Amino acid sequence: MSIKIIQGDITKLDCDAIVNAANSSLLGGGGVDGAIHAAAGRALLEECRALGGCETGDAKITGAYNLPCRYVIHTVGPVWHGGSHGEKELLTSCYRKSLELAKANNCKSVAFPLISSGVYAYPKKEAFQVAVDTIRDFIAEVEMQVYIVVFDKAALAVAEKLFSDLIETS
């Protein structure tokens, strides 16, 4: 069991759970959130509506509807405000809480986007470091295959620099 970095569209992945970089309303938005809701269909929005939102740094799980995975774990990353407003702790909490929910639901394979690194402006290098450190800590104790899915070229370039050993090409 390990961490792998792959490039692609997270909505296409057939793993136990994919993680959504949501906002605190859980009612959809742009970026990966928009892509997940569009591919899952309206029933996902209906289930999310019943959850009553989600705090920054926390995570909630739903079904996946028309997506190929089994579950969607919605987490709310911090908005980057320069780095001295608890951003790192909140982002760490997003990964940890998402992984705990995955474990509690018997997921053996989980895919994350690079949370907060788009609209929420978390620098990609720092966002990667938090992701990899937190996932590594978690899988030291739990059997799970975890993917970090990079979408844009800038994120792939950062991954190639920092974590070339984790990149898997198809």
> Which one of 33, 58, 152, 165 is the catalytic residue?
33
In the region spanning residues 146 to 165, those forming contacts with ligand AR6, defined by CB under 6 A, are 149, 151-152, 155
Q: How far is the CB of 34 from ligand AR6 (least distance, A)?
A: 6
Which of 4, 29, 105, 123 touches ligand AR6 by CB under 6 A? Answer: 29
For the question of residue 137 being annotated catalytic, the response is: no
Question: How many CB atoms neighbour CB 11 within 10 A?
Answer: 23
Check binding of 120 to ligand AR6 (CB under 6 A).
yes
- Let me know: does 108 contact 97? Beta carbons within 8 Å: no
Q: How far is the CB of 78 from ligand AR6 (least distance, A)?
A: 9
The tokens of 25 are what? Answer: 């309303």
Check binding of 30 to ligand AR6 (CB under 6 A).
yes
| Size of interface with ligand AR6, in residues (CB under 6 A) | 25
CB closer to ligand AR6 out of 46 and 152: 152
The Cα 68–Cα 66 span in angstroms is 7
Check binding of 75 to ligand AR6 (CB under 6 A).
no
Which of 5, 116, 128, 166 touches ligand AR6 by CB under 6 A? Answer: 116
- Let me know: does 141 contact 100? Beta carbons within 8 Å: no
The Cα 112–Cα 21 span in angstroms is 8
The tokens of 65 are what? Answer: 């509807």
The SS3 call for residue 155 is helix
